[in-house]
A = this chain, B = another copy of it.
Amino acid sequence: MKVLITGYEPFGGEEINPSLEAVKKLNGKIINGIDVVAEEMPVVWNDIDKKFEEAMVKHKPDAVILVGQAGGRTAIALERVAVNRTMGKDNLGVARDEQAIREDGENSYFSTLPILEMLKAIKEDNIPVYISNTAGLYLCNYIFYAARYYMDKHSLDVPVGFVHIPFIPKQVAAKDRPQNFASMDLSLIVKALEKMVEVLA
């Protein structure tokens, strides 16, 4: 069994993206017999589809865990739902107004990862975690929606979902007002992702 796990390049003025740091640490690992492969995704509206589809073709994964940074959140956030909408300016300065991601797609798709079991497993490992009802309208929601649509259109029985992670401490330490931003140690984030893979086993 093989799990594809993706992280994003830095955006929003940050020098690093903890999602990328975390998935790099998991790349090539074997967890409970599952091969983990990691790929970096761009924060670019016009490139993200191609990059995701290439990763799918290259790895032919049995499950996909998409990871992204949600600066300011305090806990691992297992996303419940992806909506057919975009908004925001990407790393190339390209802005999207409110528009559909796929004209022929559902209004939204639910995660097909076993998020309730994942919630339980991560919590039992003493890591703050919850289920979130919105992944926003930016590229995190985009890849989540596009991936679910992809599985549907290709009739693939490949569970896929998105998880938002907090800043890591060194990002917050560098801010003017660290008292306004929560963070989580990278080792804990990696451990939470490992738990998610274990639940898939």
Contacts and interface: CB of A to CB of B under 8 A. Distances in A.
Interface of A: 73-75, 77, 80-81, 83, 85, 98, 106-110, 116, 122-123, 125-130, 132-134, 136-137, 169-170, 172-175, 177-185, 187-188
A173 B107 contact: no
5 contacts: A73-B179, A75-B172, A81-B83, A126-B169, A128-B179
Contact of A173 (B73, B77, B108, B129): B129
Nearest to A115: B98
- Report the copy number of this chain in the oligomer: 4
A141 to B, nearest CB: 8
Given A75-B178, A183-B74, A133 B137 contact: yes
A187 B184 CA distance: 12
Most buried by B among A134, A175, A181: A134
Given A80-B83, A81-B85, A184-B185, 5 more contacts: A74-B172, A74-B181, A128-B172, A128-B183, A169-B185
A135 B125 CA distance: 30
Nearest to A107: B108
Contact of A179 (B77, B85, B172, B175): B77
Contacts of A132: 179
Nearest to A136: B133
Given A116-B98, A123-B173, A169-B188, A85 B80 contact: yes
